[in-house]
Amino acid sequence: MGKEDMAFHETVDLHELLNMKTVGLLKSKLTQGVVFDQDLRKLMEKNVQMSIQDVKQLQRLYPYTRSEK
């Protein structure tokens, strides 16, 4: 993959996905503090860990995005 292999619409999609994952991650992490059911808390922690992995994977794509025409 070259330095600028992503099209502009793919760059926008990447930003949207990263924003969505980041907001979901923050929401799950903050909500864990008010959840008392241990099974739900474990499920939310698993979601947090998976979201962290997803964000890291998406961040690896940033070198291939476009910022100018």
Q: What is the pLDDT of residues 10-30, one digit of tens each?
A: 999 999 999 999 999 999 999
- In whole angstroms, how far apart are CA 59 and each of 46, 48, 56, 69? 20, 16, 5, 21
Torsion angle, alpha carbons of 59, 19, 21, 9, to 10: -70
- What is residue 66's predicted lDDT score, i.e. its pLDDT? 82
The pLDDT, as a whole number, for residue 69 is 63
Structure tokens that stand for 8 in this block: 């502009």
Q: What is the pTM of this model?
A: 0.81
Q: Is 35 exposed, middle or buried (0-12, 13-18, 19+ CB in 10 A)?
A: middle
